[in-house]
Structure 1
Amino acid sequence: MGDEVRVGVFLPVAGFPGMGHGDALAAAVDAAVAAERAGFDDVWIAEHHFMSYGVCPSAVTLAGYVLGRTERVVVGTAVSVLSTWHPVALAEQAALLDRVSGGRFRLGVGRGGPWVDLEVFGTGLDRYENGFEEGLDLLLAALGRERVAGEGERFRFREVEIVPRPGTPMRPVVAATSAGTVRLAAARELPMLLGMHIGDQEKAALVQAYAAARKAPNTVHAVAESGHLAAGVAYVADTTREAVATMMASLPRWLGPGLAGYRPVDDRPYVPRDPVEYADLLCRLHPVGSPGHCADTMLATIANTGVRHLVLLVEGAGDPALTRRNIARLGAEVLPKVRASC
């Protein structure tokens, strides 16, 4: 990746109250097309099951459609939940999209959570709690070799040929929220996706832990070369007060029922975040404000963490027209200031 600054949009395909599933999906596709037009570098699509937080159950499928609707932007998954995918099947999908898009597809994977998805898809709690490393290694083997065999505890199968193989080397991005996942990503030399629920200080600590695990220098250049991504929320308005007011009126309407949709697979307790408090946190941590405030916040994140690839949730207003306007204003009034200052 080098020291280049990249900025993308992050699309959970949020199901706001009153918005039909088809409308939410169409709005996300329109947002992706608008992001390309506005000068963003990439589009990242989330995967969720059985909840309104995100109504896209297959990030690779929607990524394929978005690749067909765009010409320049990279399109990735943020993330495909490896605990409910067979790693070889996911590698096949990634290689397919890499081939037909001319190398514009990026795969992002994550452990997921202890949710009912594990029961529905039959992968079980053990895949989440203990099987992520084995699944990730099999995924990497299927992306990087001509033939693979399942020889682990959870995946056992005879050797098969991988068809198609990727046309370009693929280094999946790994969503990292725990020390164990940071160490695993570092050991495999894979870039991390750092979540929007934490601020610059916490992101910087994860980057430092990654560098320590690799026994690599934690310099600005080394962090940039690692290719990590930092997620955040972005909304631009004429004034910061106006932008925050819009987000505080809309985000809790989505976060409340959305976060409540997470259902544990077993009897462990789950208490969702308070949606108003979480919305307030997101507004304070991320570029929500005037064009100048948004640019300064993004530049501060780059300076504080060393991460030079930002992906911004732009759907927060809960209205497709406002989302497209937000994307256009970020592209015209914020991105040029950020790029000119780096």
Structure 2
Amino acid sequence: MRFGMLHLYANPGDLSERQAIQEQLRLMRAAEDLDFDSVWPAEHHFSPLGYTASPAIGLAALAAETRRIRLGTGVVVLPFSNPIRVAEDFAFLDHLSDGRVDLGIGCGAQPSEFEHFRIDPTTAHARMEEGLEVIRQAWLDGRVDLRGRFHRFDDVPVHPTPVQTPHPPIWMAAVSGESFERAGRLGCNLLSGTVLGLNRSVAAQRRADYLSGLEKGGHPAEDFSSGCLVIVYVADTVEQARHEFGAAEAWYRSTIGRFIAPESDPEDSVVCGSPEFVTQRLAELEQTYGFTDLLCWTRLGVLAQDKVLRSMELMQHKVMPHLR
């Protein structure tokens, strides 16, 4: 199991915008020292629940200050961006980071974002697929020649091309069975999560949907990885963890959790306890959901920065060694 961290840049309201952004950057810098494998800032707009309008900007700052940790996106919402610009930005970031980029993409989910950008949400999946085709052309060929439904590019040169060959790993967010199949068919690594509606009653079917998509696309299953987003918090004892994390979990369930995926299993979407408890629960989740990468979401709501760092330290010393 590899360990990543999702970052939403959310502000519960008790911090200035500068404080909220700087605290998230400090956590992502600390993740490298605490042996995490990757960080994954999300893209959101028009809300203090997510300040990262352009994940590449924050990741560029991290690229200059880190040496090992991989820099992912969880996710770039392709329907909102010109795909050539996405290809350029993340190829440039791949150079800044010496080949540490993972591009996570999605079609978007927030109605207000589509409304304010004046994009028809019924076109989101088609826009994402066409955008992915553009990005791959740009990265593989250094040029884009495409006459699509949403974009027209007449043999356009694109610079730079990425450091990684053939290109940075591409991950696709999936919630429904159709989206799991799509991620496989299009040859993308999988990004899902127990906080995104993945639960035990559908886990086996969703895995089958993804594998079916890989087969349809002619992609060997052994070449692909799957990431699972789980809220994780560790303290010295179960009682301490639940006491410290209680307000943060309540904030999550009353805000983001209401519209992300109400069908999520509360016990699988939030893993909170002692190192021993968390290790056991994560091992069970790995067995149930079959993921290769755990994306921990720890910085929630009113939870103090020092407690988040302490949780990460306990993960490093008392959880990760048993699961890697």
Same fold flag (TM > 0.5):
yes
What do the CA deviations read for 1:197-251 (whole angstroms, capped 9, x no partner)?
23355444322211123339xxxxx766411111101101122233223323222
Is the 1:195–1:232 Cα contact (8 Å) retained in structure 2? yes
The gaps in structure 1 that reach 5 residues or longer are 217-221, 261-270
Runs of 4+ in 1 over 4 A off after TM superposition: 257-260, 271-274, 281-284
- Following superposition, the deviation at residue 313 of structure 1 comes to 0.5
Is the 1:9–1:42 Cα contact (8 Å) retained in structure 2? yes
Cross-structure match for 1:314: 298
Q: Aligned partners of 1:337 and 1:272: how far apart in 2?
A: 31
Q: Aligned partners of 1:273 and 1:166: how far apart in 2?
A: 35
Is the 1:60–1:80 Cα contact (8 Å) retained in structure 2? no
What do the CA deviations read for 1:56-115 (whole angstroms, capped 9, x no partner)?
211111111122221210011100111101111111111010112111111101010252
Q: Quick check: 54-63 or 83-92, which moved more? A: 54-63
- Following superposition, the deviation at residue 18 of structure 1 comes to 0.9
What do the CA deviations read for 1:94-148 (whole angstroms, capped 9, x no partner)?
1010112111111101010252323433444354254222222222222222211
- The one-letter amino acid paired with 1:81 is V
1:51 aligns with 2:36: no
Identity %: 25
Cross-structure match for 2:16: 20
Find the partner of 1:141 among 120, 137, 140. Answer: 137
Is the 1:134–1:152 Cα contact (8 Å) retained in structure 2? yes
Cross-structure match for 2:211: 211
Is the 1:53–1:255 Cα contact (8 Å) retained in structure 2? no
- Following superposition, the deviation at residue 254 of structure 1 comes to 4.5
The gaps in structure 2 that reach 5 residues or longer are none
What do the CA deviations read for 1:8-37 (whole angstroms, capped 9, x no partner)?
111112212312221111111111111111
Q: Aligned partners of 1:41 and 1:73: how far apart in 2?
A: 5
Find the partner of 1:289 among 264, 273, 285. Answer: 273
- The one-letter amino acid paired with 2:323 is V
What do the CA deviations read for 1:245-279 (whole angstroms, capped 9, x no partner)?
3323222225534568xxxxxxxxxx7878xx97x
1:35 aligns with 2:20: no
The within-5 A match list for 1:44-193 is 44-113=40-109, 115-128=111-124, 130-168=126-164, 169-193=167-191
Q: TM-score, normalised by structure 2?
A: 0.89
Q: Aligned partners of 2:200 and 2:25: how far apart in 1?
A: 30
1:227 aligns with 2:225: yes
What do the CA deviations read for 1:159-209 (whole angstroms, capped 9, x no partner)?
111100111122310001122222221112211101232335544432221
Is the 1:16–1:318 Cα contact (8 Å) retained in structure 2? no
- Following superposition, the deviation at residue 298 of structure 1 comes to 1.4
Is the 1:114–1:125 Cα contact (8 Å) retained in structure 2? no
Q: Aligned partners of 1:47 and 1:193: how far apart in 2?
A: 14
- The one-letter amino acid paired with 2:225 is G
Q: TM-score, normalised by structure 1?
A: 0.84
SS for the counterpart of 2:296 is: strand
Aligned length: 316
Q: Aligned partners of 1:298 and 1:330: how far apart in 2?
A: 11
Find the partner of 2:251 among 228, 239, 253. Answer: 253
1:335 aligns with 2:320: yes
Q: Aligned partners of 2:106 and 2:121: how far apart in 1?
A: 15
RMSD value, Cα: 2.4
Cross-structure match for 1:325: 310
Is the 1:149–1:157 Cα contact (8 Å) retained in structure 2? yes
SS for the counterpart of 2:4 is: strand
Is the 1:175–1:195 Cα contact (8 Å) retained in structure 2? no
